[in-house]
Structure 1
Amino acid sequence: MISSVGIVLHDFSLGGTERIAARLGRAWASIGVAVTFYCGVDDGPMRKLIGPQARVVPLDPPIPRGKGSMQRLAAAAEKAIARERVDAVFVPGNYHWPVAHRLSRLPIDQRPVIAAQISAALRKQQRGPVKEFFYDLRMRRLLRDADGLVALSDVAADQARAIVGEGPVVRTIATPALDDDVAPPIDAGGMMIVAAGRLVPEKGFGTLIEAFSLLPDPTLQLTIVGAGPDEERLRGLARSLGIADRVDLPGYQPDIRPWLDRGRLFVLSSDYEGYPAVLIEALAAGRPVIATDCTPATDALLGSRTFGEVVPVGDAAEMAGAMYEMLASPPPVPQPLAEAVTPHRLGEVALAYLDFFEALRLQRRG
């Protein structure tokens, strides 16, 4: 079986990729796997998620994010992994794909199993056909010599196979968004609308604030949990719409569950997403969801709209209408929503990754 895993991260900054990598590394280390994080900079809010059992190796000299930094990170990781040797390397997310390309150049006797994750959407309407063509070319170049690719949904897996073709094995593994001891859901209380994510334009929080301003009930509250460069613009938008006193931006929080427990519903307002863990967290808390059509994950998680509604990207009026209807209806029984996302618990997902790594190693030997 796989006994050692390396994880290459630029840093431990806020982000879904970093969060998933930290959680998986912690889970693997807790069951006796030797886990090593190779990082350009040993800093960031996700650092504390990895726990004491995983090892962290800051690459020397430090490699902060910047122009050309990913190529330098990949080269430094290649040298470190060739020197230290691990059974498998997990490349967490699209941003880190150059690491997979660089490691695939190692001699076969030094090369670990290379498994890269597909964390962001492979198809975005905003790209257009020309940009999609060059995106596919880049993906094929970076990943064609990896041993395996991990997709977070069957749709993404099918897209990856169509782009990369023969070469890496593609497997769908659930997003490890939930701890094994996640608290059971409680009944919805109050009339607070909750959203969460990094405060950047592509998360669509401007559209959400506009939609919220269209709701007629002046007692409603909107809480957007997260931090980022778009904060002042969003606060200014709320002021201009006359709802600043009802829009709360409490900043980054390591756990959004307290807000979900106080909320009535959750809104995912993004322009595009990969497989948003926050959507899983909301359902685990028993909260119905309104989500933009920003990822195939919305259909996978919301099914026949039993657990929420899907609205067009960037359409404040449609979003407001969906929120109005959901608020006017009795809250759903929370337990079925939570039960629908149990496959996303960390322990089960961590073992699925290790099984995949082992299968890839046996395939290479064969």
Structure 2
Amino acid sequence: MAPALPSVRSIGIVLHDFPLGGTERIALRLARAWIERGIAVTIFVGEDRGPLRDLVPGGARLVPADPPVPRERRSRESLGAAAAAFFMQHPVDGVFVPGNFHWEIVPALARIPDRPAVVAQISSPLRMGPRGWLGQLAFERRMRRLLRNADAVIAMGALHKAQADSIMGRAMTTTIPLPALDDERPARPASGKTILAAGRLIHQKGFDLLIDAFDQLDDPEARLVIAGSGPEEPELARRIAARNLEDRITLAGFVPDLASLLDDARLFVMASRFEGYGAVIVEALGAGRPVVATASTPAVEDVLGDPECGTVVPVEDIGALRTAMVAWLDRPAPDPHRLAGVVDAYRIGSGAEAYLEVFRRALAARHETA
């Protein structure tokens, strides 16, 4: 019989701050789930500010760096040093490093004497054509340098796992579907013809393309709601006004929880030029809403392979966006429970347990080599 794995009683999470990011949202969702399971969670932040600050779960110990570590050049290295100093004085069993953005903090954590198990997450593609071969080579070198002393790496899909293990030169990656969904949220039948989109209002997200595609819909009942805030908001508002669409397109601003907007929607659209994982696709399917998405993220391969769940269109193809939206609005709304069932593996309960298992195995391996 294999020996029992060590228990995990405490976990630290390091975040730079609380921006509008899917990585940070998932980290806070995991923190809540771990607390519900009796784990002591400490969230160490460079600055205690940002729009997701209200999502910090009750029961978490929130520790801002003193002095604060604002975002600037090389600030993640400073954040790593501050976090390492804190966890040396206040030990935890493991530290979770959420997403590629935070990888720079791993080397400092790995230097803690009798250190915690350090688990890093992959949140965006590891191999990207736009980097070019020289940029890709530099990225892989950096990844090996930053993560070589991590105890484990978590990928969101099989492709990321294979790429990570290849880059690192050893099998150190575990695949865990993105824990983007609550355990118990009923999927409600859809009605009306409201299209929902959400994200930071920046060029990457393609909201300009979506507005142009929506302008070509010959359906006076269709409505578009765009949830999010960002620097492109004035330009998008001008674009809407120039097309006389103010009565059909709503810029809803930042919305901390999309649940009510998804309940009112018939269809979710992601028109991004490029994405990390695109957790919002999983969230939309979990609410029982079909998705039209550009081929900008690995999520389309993971969850949109079934044509009953949605449609994948080429990046920056306004005509394809329009055609796909028309097709979904013209057909009966699909069974929301069937769509939600497709992403059951992305529920927070199973995800939180899977992450804890990675920490347990990392601690066991550390004890074996001690």
Q: Which residue of structure 2 lines up, in the alignment, with residue 213 of structure 1?
A: 215
Q: Which residue of structure 1 lines up, in the alignment, with residue 188 of structure 2?
A: 186
Matched AA of 2:264: R
Distance in structure 1 (CA, Å) of the matches to 2:121 and 2:157: 11
Q: Which residue of structure 2 lines up, in the alignment, with residue 133 of structure 1?
A: 137
Matched AA of 1:119: S
Aligned 8 A contact 1:203 1:270 in 2: yes
Matched AA of 1:347: G
Distance in structure 2 (CA, Å) of the matches to 1:89 and 1:285: 31
Match of 1:16 among 16, 22, 25: 22
Q: Which residue of structure 2 lines up, in the alignment, with residue 150 of structure 1?
A: 154
Aligned 8 A contact 2:94 2:119 in 1: yes
Aligned 8 A contact 2:202 2:230 in 1: yes
Shift of 1:134: 1.2
**Alignment of structure 1 residues 277-288 onto 2, 5 Å:** 277-288=279-290
Q: Secondary structure of 2:247's partner?
A: helix
Distance in structure 2 (CA, Å) of the matches to 1:304 and 1:42: 41
Distance in structure 2 (CA, Å) of the matches to 1:52 and 1:187: 32
Q: Secondary structure of 1:127's partner?
A: helix
TM-score (norm 1): 0.95
Matched AA of 2:208: G
Q: Which residue of structure 2 lines up, in the alignment, with residue 119 of structure 1?
A: 123
Q: Which residue of structure 2 lines up, in the alignment, with residue 342 of structure 1?
A: 344
Match of 2:37 among 25, 31, 55: 31
Distance in structure 2 (CA, Å) of the matches to 1:173 and 1:287: 23
Matched AA of 1:293: A
Q: RMSD over aligned Cα, in angstroms?
A: 1.4
Structure 1: gaps (5+ residues): none
Aligned 8 A contact 1:30 1:53 in 2: no
Aligned 8 A contact 1:40 1:73 in 2: yes
Q: Secondary structure of 1:174's partner?
A: coil
Q: Deviations over 1:204-248 (max 9, x none)?
A: 111111111111123311111111111111111222233233111
Matched AA of 1:141: R
Q: Which residue of structure 2 lines up, in the alignment, with residue 357 of structure 1?
A: 359
Shift of 1:309: 0.6
State the number of aligned residues.
Answer: 362
Deviates more, 1:239-248 or 1:281-290: 239-248
Aligned 8 A contact 2:206 2:272 in 1: yes
Q: Which residue of structure 2 lines up, in the alignment, with residue 326 of structure 1?
A: 328
Aligned 8 A contact 1:226 1:249 in 2: yes
Shift of 1:73: 0.6
Percent of aligned pairs sharing the same letter: 48
Q: Secondary structure of 2:142's partner?
A: helix
Distance in structure 2 (CA, Å) of the matches to 1:162 and 1:320: 39
Distance in structure 2 (CA, Å) of the matches to 1:304 and 1:250: 30
Q: Deviations over 1:76-116 (max 9, x none)?
A: 11111122111100000111001112212233x2x110100
Matched AA of 1:191: K
TM-score (norm 2): 0.94
Q: Secondary structure of 1:7's partner?
A: strand
Distance in structure 1 (CA, Å) of the matches to 2:215 and 2:249: 10
Q: Which residue of structure 1 lines up, in the alignment, with residue 3 of structure 2?
A: none
Distance in structure 1 (CA, Å) of the matches to 2:233 and 2:164: 34
Match of 1:89 among 85, 92, 95: 95
Alignment of 1:173 with 2:171, yes or no, is: no
Q: Which residue of structure 1 lines up, in the alignment, with residue 226 of structure 2?
A: 224
Deviates more, 1:286-295 or 1:232-241: 232-241
Q: Secondary structure of 2:52's partner?
A: helix
Matched AA of 2:109: L
Aligned 8 A contact 2:308 2:334 in 1: no
